[in-house]
Chains A and B, each alone.
Chain A
Amino acid sequence: AQSVTQPDIHITVSEGASLELRCNYSYGATPYLFWYVQSPGQGLQLLLKYFSGDTLVQGIKGFEAEFKRSQSSFNLRKPSVHWSDAAEYFCAVGAYGGATNKLIFGTGTLLAVQP
């Protein structure tokens, strides 16, 4: 069965420090992978996605993620965190088939940024 695991429920980093949020997936075929961010009172915003090709994908707001098939991982990184990055981050795998193309989400990682 398809699933996504985000092992870190809550992470705190200092502003300017680097960030890595972990994501592991379980999917039978080549996965379509996504990272979404949810700020308080906001909807889910797509940060980046991986469908094929280069395993290092660049997203918005300076984020990047690397697909590692051997580790079934798709970790999100940012070299220098800003206070405005404080939010909840969701990794998702696309379960594509037919007309549905639904997303299966992880439980999320809540990021706090210290000044």
Chain B
Amino acid sequence: EPEVTQTPSHQVTQMGQEVILRCVPISNHLYFYWYRQILGQKVEFLVSFYNNEISEKSEIFDDQFSVERPDGSNFTLKIRSTKLEDSAMYFCASRETGMNEKLFFGSGTQLSVL
């Protein structure tokens, strides 16, 4: 089965630093997502991306967050100035077109902000 690949699997950073989480979606997919899961809490939607622009973002996705598809294969999430509360598991996901297409998730990046 095709896979969504996320790197790194673990990222440790100091508060106030910038981090970039990387994802390689499945090659023929057109819709891309970031979700996050704070330890012990729900998996939460952050942002969706289609046709090179954000199609929806949650309240969590403030000005400190940005997404980019820089080269047609990678999909990145940047946090400009990390806060302690950004510590979470971040999941990338992608899907083809259509309303009922299966959503493929990556294995996640565990971000720890110290």
Binding site for B on A (CB under 8 A): 32, 36, 41-46, 49, 51, 90, 92, 96, 98-108
Pick the residue among B42, B43, B50, B51 that contacts A44 (CB under 8 A): B43
Say yes or no: A90-B48 contact (C-beta < 8 A), given A100-B56, A101-B31, A103-B103.
no
Binding site for A on B (CB under 8 A): 4, 6, 9, 31, 33, 35, 41-45, 48, 50-51, 55-56, 91, 93, 95, 99-100, 102-103, 105-108
Say yes or no: A100-B55 contact (C-beta < 8 A), given A43-B4, A43-B106, A46-B103.
yes
Q: Which residues of B contact A108 (CB under 8 A)?
A: 42-43
In the complex, besides A44-B105, A103-B45, A104-B45, 16 extra interface pairs with C-beta distance below 8 angstroms are A32-B99, A32-B100, A36-B105, A41-B9, A43-B4, A43-B105, A43-B106, A43-B107, A44-B91, A45-B105, A51-B100, A99-B48, A99-B51, A103-B35, A105-B43, A107-B42
